[in-house]
Amino acid sequence: MMIAVGSDIVRIARLSQHASPAFLARTFTARELHICEGRAESLAGRWAAKEAVMKALGAGVGEVALTDIEVGREDSGRPVVRLLGGAADRAQAAGLSQWQVSISHDGDYAIATVVATG
């Protein structure tokens, strides 16, 4: 069984300072933007989760589109990862099919950890 782990931490102010409409469109899916409702801590948590997924995939910056990694949520509020396009292709090639994600934010920072198995 293949297991991959990734984690990332983001300064929340980084998202509030750089949250132009163009940046948001390049970084987040419409579903993510709807879920976050413009809250910088929620955007930062999802950014950290996307970076953590890329690390678990062994992908560097630019190798996977950030919008190919969607961090949604279940009705309970539990975050979930959905891979699209190139991210899904890379996960399939690596034998990774199940994703778990944990996101937290406190004070100035948001952090995320992902575990993928296949």
Look at residues 103, 6, 9, 92 and name the one whose alpha carbon lies nearest to residue 56: 6
Look at residues 51, 46, 44 and name the one whose alpha carbon lies nearest to residue 7: 51
Q: How far is CA 32 from CA 26, 28, 35, 38, 91, in A?
A: 12, 6, 5, 10, 21
User: Is 34 marked active-site?
Assistant: no
User: Is 55 marked active-site?
Assistant: yes
Query: Which residues of the chain fall short of a pLDDT of 70?
Result: 18
Task: Go through the domains of the chain in sequence order and give each one's CATH number.
Answer: 3-117 (3.90.470.20)
Catalytic pick from 18, 34, 50, 55? 55
